[in-house]
Amino acid sequence: MNEVVVAESVGKTYGDTVALDGVDLTVAEGEVFGLIGPNGAGKTTLIRALTGTTPVTGEIRVFGSEPAAVDADRIGLLPQSFSPPARLTARELIDYYAGLYETARDTEAVLADVGLSEDADSWYETLSGGQQRRVCVGTALVNDPDLLFLDEPTTGIDPAGRRSLWELLESLAAGGTTVVLTSHSMAEVQRLSDRVGLLQDGQLVAVGTPSTLIADHGGTSRLVIGTETGHAAAEALGTAGFSATASQAEVVVDGVSPVDIGEAVDVLSAAGISYDSLTWTEPSLEDVYLQLTGESFEGAATPGASVVSEESTESPTPSVDSAATGGEK
Ligand SMILES: Nc1ncnc2c1ncn2[C@@H]1O[C@H](COP(=O)(O)OP(=O)(O)OP(=O)(O)O)[C@@H](O)[C@H]1O
């Protein structure tokens, strides 16, 4: 497969601050590459490096050229901070950006893509934050780019709008557009990305498909039991061979697959322990992030949690009606 982006030993410092520290990265044609990492990790700086908007050390090739030399018609860029003229309407702004390219998409089609047809005649400054972000996404799509850089595209956009933008990005990717995406939404990155890179302190510390990263660093599926007798529950489960840890009003049982849930419940029942809730979770990209960045995770249910039962009972027969898949898919 053709490599659209090739970066080798990319470095960037701002005074004493090392923003990028020897980043090697390739992005293949048609791939969606998700960049994640804590605030200040270097994601925006890397996007700026790849788009030729900040000088860096090392080697970068985009479509075989230096970033600044690439035909602008082939690149779409949504920066993290973007302030277009406020006294233009959404339609005028899309039209304006369309005029910067030799060939551009139909303005009405772009407005429809980003869900702004009905608000097309509103001034930018009167749109909500999420609507403004949609206009900005539209300006990045207007030239029908072959390579699209999106720096936190869905920040401020409501859940329904976010999902429709995800679908739009999925259809662009299906059509062959290469996408480099940064986001703090692990659900977004997990859903959209073919591969994910985790930046930390300017270094790419892990790169892989979401499923590989989850298998390598996400830990195991777990059962979280809400109970006021956590220590007794953990002891009973531990005696039965489960890996259970009591914390506050709950017990976290690691390595529990859906077929093990019944056995865990039987153990609680046999020990006369009641509980308020059972929540089963699969590891997700968020667990990978928390694990690799060293941020704490103490058995809290992740967004992919699947509530098995909320009944307080001593002999329930819980069922897992939908296996969690790690996010808001
Ligand atoms: N123009 C600048 N001048 C000085 N320091 C900068 C500049 N831009 C970025 N930095 C510093 O470089 C480091 C990386 O910043 P960058 O914006 O790339 O991080 P990020 O991963 O995009 O963060 P966030 O998730 O908060 O957007 C940070 O320490 C930041 O303070």
DSSP string, 126-176: GS-HHHHHHHHHHHHHTT--SEEEEESTTTT--HHHHHHHHHHHHHHHHTT
> Scanning the structure block, which residue is given the tokens 């002999």?
315
Nearest ligand 1 atom to alpha carbon 45: 18
Please tell me the residue having the least CA distance from ligand 1 atom 24: 39
How far does residue 271's CA lie from ligand 1's centre (Å)?
54
Identify the residues whose C-beta falls under 6 Å from ligand 1.
Answer: 14, 17, 19, 37, 39-45, 80
Burial tier of 252 (Cβ tally within 10 Å: 0-12, 13-18, 19+): buried
pLDDT bracket for residue 314 (50, 70, 90):
very low
Q: For residue 313, is pLDDT > 60?
A: no
Fold matches, 3-208 and 217-309: no
Q: For residue 302, is pLDDT > 50?
A: no
Domain residue limits, the chain: 3-208, 217-309
Nearest CA to 104 out of 62, 74, 78 is that of: 74
Please tell me the residue having the least CA distance from ligand 1 atom 31: 40
Whether CATH 1.10.10 fits 217-309: no
Give residue 1's pLDDT: 66
pLDDT in tens, 123-144: 999 999 889 999 999 999 999 9
Which CATH topology does 3-208 take?
Answer: Rossmann fold (3.40.50)
ipTM above 0.95, yes or no: yes
How far does residue 20's CA lie from ligand 1's centre (Å)?
9
Nearest ligand 1 atom to alpha carbon 48: 18
